[in-house]
Amino acid sequence: MAHINITFPDGTVKEFGHGSTGKQIAEHVSKGLAREALAVEVNGEVWDLGRPITADSSLRILKWGDDGGKYAFWHSSAHLMAEAIEAHYPGTKFGIGPPIENGFYYDIDMGDHTLTGEDLVRIEKTMYELCGRDVPYVREEKSWDEAVAYFKKKGDPYKLELLEDLKGETITFYHQGDFTDLCYGPHIPSTGRIKAIKLLSVAGAYWRGSEKNKMLQRIYGVTFPTAKELEEHLFRLEEAKRRDHRKIGQELELFHLSPAVGSGLPLWLPKGTVIRESLIEFLRDEQRKRGYVSVVTPHIGNLELYKTSGHYPYYKDSQFPPIVLENGEAFLLKPMNCPHHHQIYAAKPRSYRDLPIRLAEFGTVYRYEQSGEMNGLTRVRGFTQDDAHIYCRHDQVKQEIRTTVELTQLVFETFGMEVRTRLSYRDDKNVEKYGGDAAFWDRAQREIKEVADEMKLNYFVGVGEASFYGPKIDFMVKDALGRTWQLGTVQVDYVMPERFQLEYTGSDGQKHRPVIIHRAPFGSMERFVGILIEHFAGEFPLWLAPVQAVVLPITDAYLEYAKQVCGQLTEAGVRCELDERNEKIGYKIRDSETKKVPFMLVVGEKEMQGNTVAVRQHTKGDLGAMTREAFLAKTLSAIQQKSLTV
């Protein structure tokens, strides 16, 4: 009998019988491993445990802790859900049912029936019954014709459409119990492995992600090998909801969204404005050190300006309609600041000695987002970019990219935020979406990649994510609900200098085109603060806290002393408030804790006598008494250092 050599992850090689399965090999290693095994990775490809291995291979047994194992587990769970749906609603047509980052979904077409919460409960219950039967997932290879015949008979147009793209290939089916699905796999050995199930939500989703297609119903769910893990997962979801910036923003009175003003037009309340302005001050300072100069431009601009830039009419759908005067002159609420800045550059002749010129503005822009797109502060129709445009020579481009990336990194480090970096390239298959010559694009993309490599950035590439005038380095973060948002961005632009005929005189006396770098480390103040609220769960570091300290007199006998303390701190630049309400100290403390005020200064007889304050730190509790001077010094130092721990 023939043998095959199996190489394990630790490098050891063992001989097994030809056609051995992952399951058999796992059992050979240990009973425990076999019990936990969900799938097997064979030469980098994830397979079912039951699939015979017929050649020398490197092999890794996948468990719940491995992405591939989870993937198979949730993929199998989607099939289990489909089986339960079919049991309740025969004739349901199935789209796709893949595993995702935190669970799985299945897109289904139920005709006139709209799923309700009760339906989900019923389906979930049936899933528990089905996994209780512990039936195996069985792989079966079919010819394309057999597969088509099956789904024609079943009457499932979506599966037939999927098969159209698989012509000529070997098709695989998976069965479990009474359910059969077209599926590339892999799957876990049997339904019994699924012990805990939660169907989370149902929402609409276009078939194949195109709004031209029919909208199907998508059920999201998550499953686990143990009930405990499900409980933990649901607890984490609840925790994440508590961080939601929309909730905290309301509780802490940071911003307000009034329908009377308009959807997606946030109002910054006094406490939120403190945060916003602290951030602006921080960045202005850093930019000043780096040779930026500030400019200010109006909120509207002549429509012709945007025709020159190319923003209009190509992006008409995402702009508010023009404001047209009686004489026919038309203005647009500015959707970006660049054209205005370009006019500042063009306002006088520029020499190569002047470059780079770095024009910075916290510029407010307006974009007509689709009605279903607005989201708290993270997606709005009016927002302020921490914008700047750097006009430089070709030989300065890489250096300028590098320093702007470094500035962006400094920003995220200051807040201890984790970001993912994306190189956003154009999509070569869709070139009409982009302006400028291919040669410019190649050059710009090469330049950002070179800088990214030289800086050893840990990036991924996003094809088709470029802006229409150039490629970008984008900095992405996730919100409390796991949604990804773009914050900082650095963009290289060879297109706008052409469109606006921007020039400088070189050392050779000839006219040359500058290159523009667009950059915004925060991205927008709104989105950044939204994410920041969630990052800190409303517990801002001292330098950002809207109220840094609150003085709490024990009784009104100490009100006068409390006023002195608060006055001294305010005088020194600390944002301090006095709680002079006629309430017990416990009540005042509770109130300030709820408002997440970093320092509570309790003052009574002892403090007044000793000229001290009893310091209580938010979430940390009583720190004991401190002289007023010591507290002030400690506070000022933490503010100055932008410390994350106080």
Partner RNA sequence: GCUGGCGUAGCUCAGCGGUAGAGCAGCGGUUUCGUAAACCGCAGGUCAUCGGUUCAAAUCCGAUCGCCAGCUCCA
From 210-218, 323-331, 343-351, 540-548, span contacting RNA (CB under 7 A): 210-218
CA distance 222 to 449: 38
Residues 110-129 contacting RNA, CB under 7 A:
114, 116
Residue of 79, 218, 358, 575 that binds RNA (CB under 7 A): 218
Q: Does the protein bind RNA through residue 108 (CB under 7 A)?
A: no
CA distance 601 to 564: 12
Q: Does the protein bind RNA through residue 483 (CB under 7 A)?
A: yes
Question: Measured from the CB of residue 512, what is the shortest distance to RNA in angstroms?
Answer: 25
Q: Please, which residue, 451 or 562, has the CB nearer to RNA? A: 562
Number of Cβ within 10 Å of residue 426's Cβ equals 23
Cβ neighbours for 211, distance < 8 A, ≥ 6 positions apart = none
Question: Measured from the CB of residue 56, what is the shortest distance to RNA in angstroms?
Answer: 41
Q: Please, which residue, 37 or 529, has the CB nearer to RNA? A: 529
Residues 261-290 contacting RNA, CB under 7 A:
262-264
CA distance 95 to 413: 43
Q: Which of 217, 287, 319, 385 is catalytic?
A: 385
Q: Please, which residue, 58 or 250, has the CB nearer to RNA? A: 250
Residues 54-73 contacting RNA, CB under 7 A:
none
Residue of 249, 335, 514, 598 that binds RNA (CB under 7 A): 335
Q: Is 88 a catalytic residue?
A: no
Side chain identity at 449, as an amino acid letter? K
Q: Is 51 a catalytic residue?
A: no
Residue from 475, 472, 464 nearest 445 by CA: 472
Handedness of CA 8, 10, 11, 12 (dihedral sign): negative
From 119-127, 156-164, 363-371, 391-399, span contacting RNA (CB under 7 A): 363-371
Q: Do residues 48 and 94 touch, judged by C-beta distance below 8 A?
A: no
Q: Do residues 337 and 385 touch, judged by C-beta distance below 8 A?
A: yes
Q: Does the protein bind RNA through residue 626 (CB under 7 A)?
A: no
Q: Does the protein bind RNA through residue 240 (CB under 7 A)?
A: no
Question: Measured from the CB of residue 252, what is the shortest distance to RNA in angstroms?
Answer: 12
Residues 568-607 contacting RNA, CB under 7 A:
581-587, 589-590, 593-594, 600, 602-607
In Å, how far are 6, 272, 539, 570 from 252, measured between CA atoms?
60, 8, 10, 21
Q: Is 563 a catalytic residue?
A: no
Q: Please, which residue, 192 or 604, has the CB nearer to RNA? A: 604
Q: Is 420 a catalytic residue?
A: no
Side chain identity at 429, as an amino acid letter? K
Q: Does the protein bind RNA through residue 566 (CB under 7 A)?
A: no
Question: Measured from the CB of residue 464, what is the shortest distance to RNA in angstroms?
Answer: 8
CA angle, residues 397, 469, 495, in degrees to nearest 5: 65
Q: Is 387 a catalytic residue?
A: yes
Structure tokens at 26: 């796992």
In Å, how far are 404, 460, 494 from 450, measured between CA atoms?
14, 14, 17
End-to-end Cα separation, the chain, in angstroms? 70
Q: Does the protein bind RNA through residue 555 (CB under 7 A)?
A: yes
Residues 378-417 contacting RNA, CB under 7 A:
379
Q: What single-letter DSSP state applies at residue 137?
A: P
CA distance 267 to 264: 10
Q: Does the protein bind RNA through residue 481 (CB under 7 A)?
A: yes
Q: Does the protein bind RNA through residue 645 (CB under 7 A)?
A: no
Q: Is 244 a catalytic residue?
A: no
Question: Measured from the CB of residue 13, what is the shortest distance to RNA in angstroms?
Answer: 43
Q: Does the protein bind RNA through residue 146 (CB under 7 A)?
A: no
Residue from 119, 273, 283, 110 nearest 204 by CA: 110
Q: Does the protein bind RNA through residue 219 (CB under 7 A)?
A: no
Region label for 60, one of left (φ > 0), alpha (ψ between -120 and 50) or beta (otherwise): beta
Q: Please, which residue, 133 or 433, has the CB nearer to RNA? A: 433
Q: Please, which residue, 68 or 264, has the CB nearer to RNA? A: 264
Structure tokens at 276: 């916003």
Q: Which residues are catalytic?
A: 338, 367, 385, 387, 389, 472, 518
